[in-house]
Structure 1
């Protein structure tokens, strides 16, 4: 009897469980747990993005904004970044995708103290904007975003 299918099923189950514990996708968002604080995760993300030739357009600290008006908010930052070479390809497939570009990463601490990095799933955006003929650039964007997020959250 071949035991490989049973072994493969067990390994697959373990990998799926591990992946599910660290990465979540809801409502078009990909969410990864971070081992660092919000500020450190955002710093790591900026470093990774710049090293890969991405443009970091802005970093918004929503917690400081809340504080400036006498309110409180758990640590929450957004990093806005992109690359015109790939963004232009996507906008040529569907000009409306420009409303979701440049890319954004949300880094926030939940009420339990866990830090999360979230970003828009490019496949979700493709469906949202009825993008046709952009499979290759979308695949590249998905892979790059995943790598950036993995490095920033470890």
Structure 2
């Protein structure tokens, strides 16, 4: 009984963390912004996931004289999963394809941030795609771990 109660509390706390963080998942990276996104892009391509574009926010800011720490965005998608979200609620297209943001904080730590698929489903009232959300969540976790882990941990 105590184990079930503890598990329930842990699940509630994890969902509160998502809500408190507005559906964002942040992972520390052991690499630079560029290398983190290079690794993510390569992992996505290996899985046959479409890369839509890669955008450097700091390069754009630099062009107009605004200093910005390294900040790059990767937009990518997998129609085999995302299309199921659209058939439940087409407004999910505002959040899909998926995005991952690699950025460096004031202390020099690099982070990889992306939207939690559960948050996207909740935001659009999608209640009939639990299996798709589960697959998206697992795939994103594995792919972003591959991008952020130290090389000795990835093996």
Instruction: Bin the TM-score by the shorter chain.
Output: 0.7 to 0.9
Structure 1, unaligned runs of 5 or more: 10-15
Select which of 29, 45, 55 maps to 2:40: 45
Shift of 1:138: 0.5
Question: Given the alignment, which residue of 79, 91, 97 partners 1:96?
Answer: 91
For residue 60 of structure 2, give the secondary structure of its aligned residue in structure 1. helix
- Aligned-partner SS, 1:60: strand
Aligned residue for 1:12? none
For 2:53, which of 54, 58, 75 is the aligned residue?
Answer: 58
Q: Could you list the runs of 4 or more consecutive aligned residues of structure 1 that deviate by over 3 angstroms after TM superposition?
A: none
Alignment of 1:100-115 (within 5 A): 100-115=95-110
RMSD between superposed Cα atoms in Å:
1.9
Which structure has the larger Rg over C-alpha atoms?
Answer: 1
The aligned residue for residue 29 of structure 2 is 34
**Which structure 2 residues correspond to residues 125-144 of structure 1 after superposition, within 5 A?**
125-144=120-139
The TM-score with structure 2 as length reference comes to: 0.83
Aligned residues: 136
Q: CA deviation at 1:27?
A: 1.2
TM-score by length of 1: 0.84
Could you tell me which runs of 5 or more consecutive residues in structure 2 were left unpaired when the two chains were aligned. 150-155
**Corresponding residue of 1:75:** 70
Q: 2:146, 2:108 → 1: CA distance? A: 20
- 3-state SS of the aligned residue for 1:31? strand
Aligned-partner Cα distance in 2 for 1:49–1:105: 12
